[in-house]
């Protein structure tokens, strides 16, 4: 097992403490497929070797495995690594490894796409992960970072109310300054029932904000904005 530093790990109470609710959240997300369409367009993964950094319990690994040659999920939190391994057991070309974005347990030049969804790459501080992604990506490979857009829709205002110190503008400037293009994507989350919707909002926000969000959301859907940041590795340059 590759060693990684505990201080590199970003606490993720939503999926660490409530993995079953988080599973329902993942099922609700991207009901129209807009986010997957964007990822497929900006980081084509047909026949590619894919790394999913901060894969949690591997929810997205089977989806990548449908088209990719191989997919490796990397996740530091041991119970989630176990769940991810169970999820991909028997799925050809798919596996999960314990590790951190800042110390990927992978060799140089082994991947065509490195993907991270709402994991680790939140802006300033994630430089070690950017360097690691560059190390494992082949020339021409793409790092694709999918994150929630806290500037859009009610969901974004609930995010800012729950985490007032998070500065979405600083995150965007950080990625632009590191050579990333950005695409904004509007998505729909569609829940099976109101109980699930309320459970999900309660694991994402402080109790007061969650209650406001539940009361302010009629029906079973939510509009949620994302930022998709992409950066391609240079081709044809000699690297040290």
Ligand X SMILES: C[S@@+](CC[C@H](N)C(=O)[O-])C[C@H]1O[C@@H](n2cnc3c(N)ncnc32)[C@H](O)[C@@H]1O
Which residues here bind ligand X, judged by CB under 6 A? 8-10, 12, 14-15, 26, 53-56, 59-60, 75-77, 80, 100-102, 117-120
State in angstroms the smallest separation of the CB of 77 from ligand X.
4
Cβ proximity to ligand X, 70 vs 100, nearer residue? 100
State in angstroms the smallest separation of the CB of 202 from ligand X.
15
Cα of 212 vs its chain's centroid, Å = 26
Cβ proximity to ligand X, 26 vs 211, nearer residue? 26
Cβ proximity to ligand X, 117 vs 231, nearer residue? 117
Cβ proximity to ligand X, 125 vs 234, nearer residue? 125
State in angstroms the smallest separation of the CB of 100 from ligand X.
4
State in angstroms the smallest separation of the CB of 44 from ligand X.
20
Per DSSP (E only), the strands in 38-135 are 49-53, 70-75, 94-98, 111-117
Q: Distance between CA 123 and CA 12 in Å, rounded?
A: 16
State in angstroms the smallest separation of the CB of 184 from ligand X.
18
Burial label, 134 (beta-carbon count in 10 A; 0-12, 13-18, 19+):
middle
Name residues whose C-beta falls within 8 Å of residue 189's C-beta, 6 or more positions apart in sequence: 25, 28, 29, 30, 31, 221, 222, 223, 224
């Amino acid at each position: 097992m590759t060693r990684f530093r505990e201080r590199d790990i970003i606490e993720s109470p939503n999926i660490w403490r409530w993995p079953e609710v988080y599973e329902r959240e993942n099922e609700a997300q991207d009901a129209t497929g807009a986010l997957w369409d964007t990822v497929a367009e900006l980081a084509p993964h047909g026949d590619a070797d894919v790394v999913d950094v901060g894969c949690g319990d591997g929810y997205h690994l089977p989806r990548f495995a449908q088209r990719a040659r191989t997919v490796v999920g990397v996740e530091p939190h041991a119970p989630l690594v176990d769940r991810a391994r169970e999820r991909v057991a028997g799925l050809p070309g798919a596996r999960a490894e314990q590790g951190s974005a800042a110390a990927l347990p992978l060799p140089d030049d082994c991947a065509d796409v490195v993907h991270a969804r709402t994991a680790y790459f939140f802006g300033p501080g994630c430089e070690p992960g950017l360097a690691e992604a560059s190390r494992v990506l082949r020339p021409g490979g793409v790092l694709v970072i999918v994150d929630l857009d806290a500037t859009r829709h009610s969901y974004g205002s609930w995010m800012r109310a729950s985490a007032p110190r998070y500065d979405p503008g600083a995150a965007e400037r950080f990625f632009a300054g590191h050579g990333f293009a950005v695409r904004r994507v509007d998505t729909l989350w569609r829940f099976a029932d109101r109980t699930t919707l309320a459970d999900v909002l309660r694991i994402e926000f402080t109790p007061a904000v969650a209650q406001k969000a539940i009361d302010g959301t009629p029906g079973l859907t939510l509009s949620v904005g994302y930022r998709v940041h992409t950066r391609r590795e240079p081709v044809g340059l000699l690297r040290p």
